[in-house]
Structure 1
């Protein structure tokens, strides 16, 4: 039934933003009739959200990670494989394959269209048709809350990539004659995201009613995590020319995360069981996209496939699409080793006994030890997601990566509290949070931050800590934009380009043929 839903009624409300077909006028008479229909529609909505995040160019390149992690060689390096994906690491998004895939927002609108359809149809499903449900009202509220969350998350991901995007919140009975839509200001888009989240929270509960729903089904915690990110993005990115955050939104993020900490029931994973967080469904997870091979939803096009080599997938070769840029380790995992000795002073033309500070790799940090191999080569490997299961185990063939896509987790929220503290000039609070992470992960004691550092110095350390904790989780680029630390790690993004909002992506030109009100992203006008 899920295939029937996504194939037949999906395209009913995107208003010329993608190719559409007239909806079968008799379809409503045979669907939306019982609980299974409703659940199938929601399952289709989640499937479309998963497709949004895992789609990319014709080679493995999931867009969620390309936008959030791969735009700079400060963290990972993309090798040439014929599709020009590597050019995004130089800030060049004009290649045909990148425009056709990563600059194309069609898949987002498919997920949004499905949410809109569910929100339109579910309230009118008669309660008498839900006789197998103990509480039809709560059943419908739960589906509505999740559809609102999926729509809000889709728009949030879009507005971080494109800024202004067309805002569609209703369905059209006749999409062929639907009016064209212009791009809505990002402030309006974020206002809609906030409204959707608040309404979703009213319809959802903390926790889940079944074990199968844990982490991969949106609940109140998922909504609050999205809200926290929304508030901080809006506080810092509404006006690129201002480095002063909007404190109303900062305070809203603060109270939102406090609710997650107090009422969510989440807990940090013991580092002795480090990989369980990234396999998925740990107590630390707040929202994840299911990609478990337990339910035959493992992936052979995971972001892990861009890194993993023969040691992890038997039939892969060692020429992987992506590798960890070696200097990532020298900028993030290092200790300052102090030694004393004789140093030649050319000015005084004499030997002096001095203390000498040299940088060495912090091999004690569990995130260094667990997440990376081939450290001493020029192409280190990320193995954060390496739960590989063979569907043909006897011959080690047909390998699938069985790691969920981790969208929000507790460590992310706790680190955001440090960012909030810095915006509030609570430098010691931010220092304490960063030190907690370093202690928890076994980092060398010399990496503990002393009290009395400047706000800017602690912000630098905060960005490094996010880069260690959330490596390859889709957050890094957005962190650098919010904190204005992009110039240290994204060489192509100068302050001039930033002020012109040159971090946003262009829109795939083919979309303009169906919408005469659509305009190209400001920075890219005349360049594509």
Structure 2
């Protein structure tokens, strides 16, 4: 495994974003080591902030689109032929790509280095924050919250990787990663069990409230931890516990729907609906590449005058929204829908910077990880899986009502799939679709990733798990290739 930095904050200096949020914008402390650094609350807070920065760096790799390249491109949402990403979109993940730019994107997507950077930072926080005296914090609550955020970040990174690769190396001690120890893959079930353990620890430590409004949704609170727990249980197929976890989020009353007439406000960040987000929307933040550069065009992105880089699958768009043309999510989050190249405008909060007579667009949108409608629909999914159909319909119809739709009228036999479709309408281009379709395939045997990307037989053989980049197999001799791809690379 690639040797990672032993320093605590220096990753801030290599952020790929145009600028950073204040709590992610601490100055690098390149001379500090674990022996001398952990002295007070500021040190602990700075170190946890570095964990968020590393997570953001991970989700923004591959031109700032990794989050969407994992969660949206390999689905029925897009049929992109954009040359850098066509093989990712078409699930040709084993390809030995000749072009340097194509190879670079595929290589980044198949590697997990940056996830382990974030995990090592979380491990360090978990190890050293408890060694700082309680009197060095403004309160014990503040200390517990920082430790809880570290447990949350470790669980989130491992869960994200488990959905991508299945079995992955599991490291819960600081130093093993940085020392480049050869580590074999741990069974996914054991990784998930560790995630659940970590999230429950985070829940016991975190508050519902934030220390200030600027941290809303972009730092983990108890609601974010319960939302993560709900998703972990859904992925595991444990819908009884998934339902319990969603109730913990919903019944607290901490989150409220954003009016669907102002739907795009969700993606500017820190809305009343946001539960956990990656901060990059404020005036002093932004991304000069990112998802907007591939999904927008003029007049929403004036530097793109031809078709958008990623092509929406118009068949899917019609299937999801065609019979409900007045769906507020459709009318507010899509544009140019009567043309052959419709676009999703969720990430269209853009400013233009003039430097050296070059106009550069900077996108100011948070990456929305969890939000209220997501958790509501996950609850509906859990209830349908538990054959509590009437209760599931009530929650499903509540979400539809927000969008201006009437009640869902399908059969109980089709309800689980109907809820997944509703998630497709509600969460289009929000990094959920691929994992939703995997759960649909596991639970109902229905495989519909679109455009022959994953057949039923290939799904059953585990094609939805990514291969590990061959370079990692050369570095770590204890690694083995993902089963489906082992004969294809």
Q: TM-score, normalising length from structure 1?
A: 0.82
Which residue number corresponds to residue 344 of structure 1?
none
Judge conservation of contact 1:309–1:320 (CA < 8 Å) in 2: yes
1:360-399 equivalences under 5 Å are 362-392=324-354, 397-399=359-361
Find out whether 1:147 has 2:153 as its counterpart: no
Equivalent of 1:521 in 466, 482, 487:
482
Q: CA deviation at 1:320?
A: 2.4
Change (3 A) 1:210 1:525: same
Which residue number corresponds to residue 501 of structure 1?
462
Q: Note the alpha carbon deviations across 1:29-78, whole angstroms, 9 max, x for none.
A: 4422233222221111110000111112xxx3511111111103x21232
Give 3-state SS (helix, strand or coil) of 1:142's partner: helix
Find out whether 1:106 has 2:63 as its counterpart: no
The runs of 5 or more residues in structure 2 that have no matched partner are: 14-29, 98-102
Give 3-state SS (helix, strand or coil) of 2:37's partner: coil
CA root-mean-square deviation: 2.5
Give 3-state SS (helix, strand or coil) of 1:47's partner: helix
Higher-Rg member (1/2): 1
Change (3 A) 1:515 1:392: same
Which residue number corresponds to residue 280 of structure 1?
269
Distance in 2, Cα, partners of 1:298 & 1:162: 29
Between Structure 1 and Structure 2, the one with more strand by share is 1
Equivalent of 2:45 in 39, 57, 80:
39
Distance in 2, Cα, partners of 1:3 & 1:180: 17
Equivalent of 2:54 in 29, 43, 48:
48
Q: CA deviation at 1:250?
A: 1.2
Judge conservation of contact 2:255–2:272 (CA < 8 Å) in 1: yes
Q: CA deviation at 1:462?
A: 1.5
Q: Note the alpha carbon deviations across 1:351-399, whole angstroms, 9 max, x for none.
A: xxxxxxxxxxx32111111111111222111101111122349989332
Which residue number corresponds to residue 20 of structure 1?
none
Judge conservation of contact 1:70–1:89 (CA < 8 Å) in 2: yes
Which residue number corresponds to residue 228 of structure 1?
230
1:15-30 equivalences under 5 Å are 27-30=33-36
Find out whether 1:457 has 2:414 as its counterpart: yes
Give 3-state SS (helix, strand or coil) of 2:79's partner: strand
Q: CA deviation at 1:173?
A: 7.6
Which residue number corresponds to residue 319 of structure 2?
331
Q: TM-score, normalising length from structure 2?
A: 0.88
Which residue number corresponds to residue 213 of structure 2?
211
The runs of 5 or more residues in structure 1 that have no matched partner are: 11-23, 236-248, 336-361
1:68-147 equivalences under 5 Å are 68-72=71-75, 74-81=76-83, 83=84, 85-95=85-95, 96=97, 97=103, 98-128=105-135, 130=136, 133-135=137-139, 137-147=140-150
Find out whether 1:487 has 2:489 as its counterpart: no
Give 3-state SS (helix, strand or coil) of 2:229's partner: helix
Give 3-state SS (helix, strand or coil) of 1:391's partner: strand
Distance in 1, Cα, partners of 2:177 & 2:59: 29
Equivalent of 1:184 in 186, 191, 200:
186
Change (3 A) 1:115 1:66: same
